[in-house]
Structure 1
Amino acid sequence: MATPTTSFLRFLFLSVLVFLCTLDNLGFALQPRELESEHLTHMHTLNVNSLIPSTTCSPSTKESFDDPSNHYGNEPNYACPIQISFFLDGWKDKSSNKRASLTVVDKHGPCSQLNQDKVKAPTMTEILEQDQSRVNSIHARLSKTLGLNGLRASKATTIPAKSGSTIGSSNYVVTIGLGTPKRDLTLIFDTGSDITWTQCRPCSKSCYQQKEPTFDPSKSSTYSNISCSSSVCSQLSSATGYSPRCSSSTCVYSIQYGDKSFSMGFFGKEKLTLTSSDVFKKFLFGCGKKNQGLFGGAAGLLRLGRDPLSLIQQTTTKYNRVFSYCLPSTSSATGHLTFEKTASSSSAIKFTPLSKLTENTSFYGLNTLGITVGGKKLSIATSVFSNAGTVIDSGTVITRLPQDAYSALKAAFKAKMKSYPLTSGFSLLDTCYDLSKYKTVSIPKISFLFSGNVKVDLDVSGILLAQKISQVCLAFAGNSDNDSIGIFGNVQQRRLEVVYDVAGGRVGFGPAGCT
């Protein structure tokens, strides 16, 4: 039988428990639960094995950002590996607007038709070295164009686009049709330049190896050369950075890229087929007779810049200079490149104005205001971003930040990752971890803040890059100073629905546009 003292102590113990539970339910004394909630809100948890590249192509089910189940709070399936390039499949919105999409594939991944034994996939170090060549070229071009100091410088069509590593970076490729009869050609697409070109027979001195048969203009009933006297011939100067030349009264173009890749040939006019219902009879392009570079089996380049000779400007009557894409998280997932008449009205897409800094260039500029790591905004003066400026580029792999911004990002990331052992960096990447002893890891979420009150939460696949499991690195790099222009690269764009409303002077970002 319990004594009065024992009964009192039991009563007191139960009373304390009830009191503590009451406080807990009211939001007091919730430290463990608060910590768990904070962790779920501001941290990603991923399987370390997801960092290992996949060797199997497993196209994902198409998704739409109009699906109410897709929102920034959703976590992706991390069973897929993180890679540099991607395979994009046709994507269709659930809205009433008809769209035409192109499929995109990782050029060296398991989904790519270009993945041949003859073409050796570049190493991560080689990709990053080539990426720096592209960045140097962008800085130099903008420095020259902008006169900056130092290096600062209702119908839609979706085409199958595939990704690859060429011209100094990891890019994406799409398959289009050219000529009559139509010849399918795989072209790298890029938002940072303007003139579209493909290799043409017969080659003069040199042509690199490509997968499809080289385009032969003599076998197309719709091909014609552009004469030197034509007004469009003179437009090559702004589109390529080089003055046109003449060969027997035919306009000759030439273009060179940051890694010394180049193309030279006749400037021509031909029928371009994106889909069966999206055909353009007088598309201006370069018919390359002398071409050299790291194009990895692709037939040429498809350009989405802002110059009058870009695909976007030449198709403005049909698409009103609106296009979008989603870059999936892995080479075995799918996404899209879409052309449309009007920009999406989905509430999931948040638009930020294009920067005035780059409005007279090929590049699409963003007004960056800040960065958050683990839910906390970094202490970076807004002038650090505004003085340098930022461009978004589908061809640059790693996001480049002004030196002060990168230093703050790196310090905050390392503070959140202090439980994991640091290891040596490689190439551009200097904040790396040895995760070989872990099955799962937790990494801080990272968001970018742009003008127009736009917050873009990066997907987990846009935060880390793995050389190997014992060398997993923060996927950002700093410029050499605070004056060189920042670049929002394609790794950080993974899984985002990125909408370019060029006519409206804005770029939109939405969550989980693909897997």
Structure 2
Amino acid sequence: MSLLLILFLFLLSFLVSSSHSIHHSLDDDHFSLPVVKIPVLYVEEEGAPYFLLKLGFGTPRIRYFHLLMDTGSSFTWVQCKPCQVRCFKQPSPIFDPSLSCSYAPIPCHSLECSVLKSATSFPTLPCSDTCKYNQRYLNNDVASIGDFAREMLHLLPNIVVPGFIFGCGQNNTGSPDVFDGVVGLGRNRLSLVDQSSPIYGKVFSFCLPSPQKSNGFLTIGNKGGLPELLTDPEFNYTSLVSLESDPDLYYINLVGISLGDDQTVSIPPFPLAIDTGSTVSLLPTSVYVPLRSAVRKVLSKYSPFPIEPLDTCYNLSSSVIPPAITLNFEGGIVIRLPQSRILLTISPFTCLPFIEIGDDDRNDGIIGGIQLQTLQVLIDVVNRKVGFAEKNCD
């Protein structure tokens, strides 16, 4: 997951306090930096969309990689040579840390190594020299084990984050030919949002592209945030919620669902995590079953055909338009999902892109990438709020 002119002549020092928070020391001149707008790329694999950021690593020669953009995790990693155990096939050449003079492994017994568990949910692996990480994800299809290190991160060719802490993967599983690693944008101190916060603040905005809209973006604010967006009247806000079970995720409270223009689906209120790394949304049984029943009732003359893990799929003609789904969030936020954001095509079938998770396993859910496409989302970590605007990535 040749030497360019570097505009920032400063030293980034990472210090870990007794509470394990990472601090940065920066020249005040850099607080006047403009916002950084990074393109978000759309890639489709077997009908499922992936949203990627092209980021660079290394000095003096910069290597760029297509990393899965993930607000549902905080750790960033790329596949690295020599791939001591396994590397999956990826679009770009695998990163070779031996060619970078800014690459620096993090020692086992350092304070930085001690914070690793909080970002990966796994204890650090035994090691004799370099700190080892073990990062896995909810569906277990993607995982990485490797060396914990620092490197020069290039957000854009002339915009850098020195000393960026990340993972150099030596044993990886992933989606071949789709991405080269993962960039974590969660709330943990190791995320890109937190590590760059002394320069840009803990405010960021994104819009995930669709096949018809290729101009998706991730915008990171300057030290003062994103003032032009924070005052934009087109944004409506709901509160950012923290859960003790998953403190690194961006939760917002879903309070209602409706189908079509007037059919209310009876559900209990519950928190949803904003997760760009998940294609589909995950809903607890108490929410998913009423929604599925309502959809199946509207499409009752068609027979559902399950395609694991999706259980509400149909062989529909192009003339059949399923009803829109509306999500109601705390604070009066209403997000109406058009057909493009409630359907996943797995040829020749059309599926409802929601997956049931048992009520006994979790008390929360996930709103995934399909439902977020072309919707501009603004996350203000400091002021604990999330904004939405129907801007279509314009």
TM-score, with length taken from structure 1: 0.63
**CA-CA distance at 1:285 after TM superposition:** 1.0
What is the CA–CA distance in structure 2 between the aligned matches of 1:431 and 1:206, rounded to whole Å? 36
| 2:186 aligned partner, one-letter code | G
Q: Helix, strand or coil: the match of 2:117?
A: helix
**CA-CA distance at 1:304 after TM superposition:** 0.7
Q: Which residue of 2 aligns with 1:407?
A: 289
What is the CA–CA distance in structure 1 between the aligned matches of 2:151 and 2:53, rounded to whole Å? 18
Partner of residue 354 from structure 2, selected from 476, 480, 488: 476
What is the CA–CA distance in structure 2 between the aligned matches of 1:279 and 1:221, rounded to whole Å? 15
2:345 equivalent to 1:459: no
Q: Give the share of equivalent positions with the same residue, in percent.
A: 35
Q: Provide Cα deviations, 1:359-388, integer angstroms capped at 9, x if missing partner.
A: 86221111111012222262525xx223xx
What is the CA–CA distance in structure 2 between the aligned matches of 1:368 and 1:513, rounded to whole Å? 22
What is the CA–CA distance in structure 2 between the aligned matches of 1:510 and 1:243, rounded to whole Å? 39
What is the CA–CA distance in structure 2 between the aligned matches of 1:430 and 1:289, rounded to whole Å? 36
What is the CA–CA distance in structure 2 between the aligned matches of 1:413 and 1:262, rounded to whole Å? 34
2:327 equivalent to 1:448: yes
Alpha-carbon contact 1:244-1:254 (below 8 Å) kept: yes
Q: Provide Cα deviations, 1:278-307, integer angstroms capped at 9, x if missing partner.
A: 211111111223323335353221111111
| 2:111 aligned partner, one-letter code | S
What is the CA–CA distance in structure 1 between the aligned matches of 2:387 and 2:302, rounded to whole Å? 37
Q: Which residue of 2 aligns with 1:216?
A: 96
Q: Which residue of 2 aligns with 1:5?
A: none
Judging changes above 3 Å, is the alpha-carbon distance between structure 1 residues 407 and 309 closer, same or farther for their aligned structure 2 residues?
A: same
**CA-CA distance at 1:232 after TM superposition:** 0.7
Q: Helix, strand or coil: the match of 1:104?
A: strand
2:185 equivalent to 1:249: no
What is the CA–CA distance in structure 2 between the aligned matches of 1:264 and 1:475, rounded to whole Å? 30
Partner of residue 509 from structure 1, selected from 385, 388, 391: 388
What is the CA–CA distance in structure 2 between the aligned matches of 1:218 and 1:292, rounded to whole Å? 22
**CA-CA distance at 1:346 after TM superposition:** 1.1
Q: Which residue of 2 aligns with 1:171?
A: 50
Q: Helix, strand or coil: the match of 1:492?
A: helix
Taking only aligned residues, the RMSD between alpha carbons, in angstroms, comes to 2.6
**CA-CA distance at 1:224 after TM superposition:** 1.5
TM-score, with length taken from structure 2: 0.81
What is the CA–CA distance in structure 2 between the aligned matches of 1:353 and 1:425, rounded to whole Å? 36
**CA-CA distance at 1:330 after TM superposition:** 2.1
| 1:285 aligned partner, one-letter code | F
Q: Provide Cα deviations, 1:475-512, integer angstroms capped at 9, x if missing partner.
A: 33333347732221211112111111112211111103
Judging changes above 3 Å, is the alpha-carbon distance between structure 1 residues 474 and 186 closer, same or farther for their aligned structure 2 residues?
A: closer
| 1:104 aligned partner, one-letter code | V
Partner of residue 151 from structure 2, selected from 270, 277, 281: 270
Alpha-carbon contact 2:265-2:291 (below 8 Å) kept: no
Judging changes above 3 Å, is the alpha-carbon distance between structure 1 residues 444 and 338 closer, same or farther for their aligned structure 2 residues?
A: same
Partner of residue 66 from structure 2, selected from 162, 186, 194: 186
Alpha-carbon contact 1:266-1:287 (below 8 Å) kept: yes
**CA-CA distance at 1:315 after TM superposition:** 0.7
Q: Helix, strand or coil: the match of 2:43?
A: coil
**CA-CA distance at 1:98 after TM superposition:** 4.5
Q: Which residue of 1 aligns with 2:38?
A: 102
Q: Provide Cα deviations, 1:39-64, integer angstroms capped at 9, x if missing partner.
A: xxxxxxxxxxxxxxxxxxxxxxxxxx
What is the CA–CA distance in structure 1 between the aligned matches of 2:329 and 2:198, rounded to whole Å? 30
Alpha-carbon contact 2:285-2:358 (below 8 Å) kept: yes
Structure 2 unaligned segments of length 5 or more: list them.
1-32
Judging changes above 3 Å, is the alpha-carbon distance between structure 1 residues 407 and 199 closer, same or farther for their aligned structure 2 residues?
A: closer
What is the CA–CA distance in structure 2 between the aligned matches of 1:253 and 1:405, rounded to whole Å? 35
| 1:185 aligned partner, one-letter code | F
Write the mapping of 1:429-440 to structure 2, written as runs, cut at 5 A: 429-436=310-317, 440=319
Q: Which residue of 2 aligns with 1:369?
A: 255
2:173 equivalent to 1:288: no
Write the mapping of 1:80-95 to structure 2, written as runs, cut at 5 A: none
Write the mapping of 1:99-248 to structure 2, written as runs, cut at 5 A: 99-108=35-44, 121=45, 123=46, 171-181=50-60, 182-245=62-125, 247-248=127-128
Alpha-carbon contact 2:79-2:172 (below 8 Å) kept: yes
Judging changes above 3 Å, is the alpha-carbon distance between structure 1 residues 478 and 217 closer, same or farther for their aligned structure 2 residues?
A: closer
Partner of residue 372 from structure 2, selected from 478, 493, 513: 493
Alpha-carbon contact 1:422-1:433 (below 8 Å) kept: yes
Judging changes above 3 Å, is the alpha-carbon distance between structure 1 residues 198 and 385 closer, same or farther for their aligned structure 2 residues?
A: same
Bigger radius of gyration: 1
Q: Which residue of 2 aligns with 1:380?
A: 266
| 1:106 aligned partner, one-letter code | Y
Alpha-carbon contact 2:55-2:155 (below 8 Å) kept: yes
- Higher strand fraction (1 or 2): 2
What is the CA–CA distance in structure 2 between the aligned matches of 1:476 and 1:497, rounded to whole Å? 21
Q: Which residue of 2 aligns with 1:424?
A: 305
What is the CA–CA distance in structure 2 between the aligned matches of 1:284 and 1:402, rounded to whole Å? 34
| 1:450 aligned partner, one-letter code | F
Judging changes above 3 Å, is the alpha-carbon distance between structure 1 residues 255 and 415 closer, same or farther for their aligned structure 2 residues?
A: closer
Judging changes above 3 Å, is the alpha-carbon distance between structure 1 residues 380 and 279 closer, same or farther for their aligned structure 2 residues?
A: same
Partner of residue 276 from structure 2, selected from 367, 375, 394: 394
Alpha-carbon contact 2:75-2:191 (below 8 Å) kept: yes
How many residues are paired up?
354
Judging changes above 3 Å, is the alpha-carbon distance between structure 1 residues 374 and 178 closer, same or farther for their aligned structure 2 residues?
A: same
Judging changes above 3 Å, is the alpha-carbon distance between structure 1 residues 263 and 425 closer, same or farther for their aligned structure 2 residues?
A: closer
Judging changes above 3 Å, is the alpha-carbon distance between structure 1 residues 403 and 209 closer, same or farther for their aligned structure 2 residues?
A: closer
What is the CA–CA distance in structure 1 between the aligned matches of 2:109 and 2:304, rounded to whole Å? 60
Q: Which residue of 1 aligns with 2:196?
A: 315
- Higher helix fraction (1 or 2): 1
Alpha-carbon contact 1:106-1:331 (below 8 Å) kept: no
Q: Helix, strand or coil: the match of 2:114?
A: helix
Judging changes above 3 Å, is the alpha-carbon distance between structure 1 residues 404 and 359 closer, same or farther for their aligned structure 2 residues?
A: closer
| 2:292 aligned partner, one-letter code | K
Alpha-carbon contact 1:378-1:409 (below 8 Å) kept: no
Alpha-carbon contact 1:385-1:402 (below 8 Å) kept: no
| 2:209 aligned partner, one-letter code | P
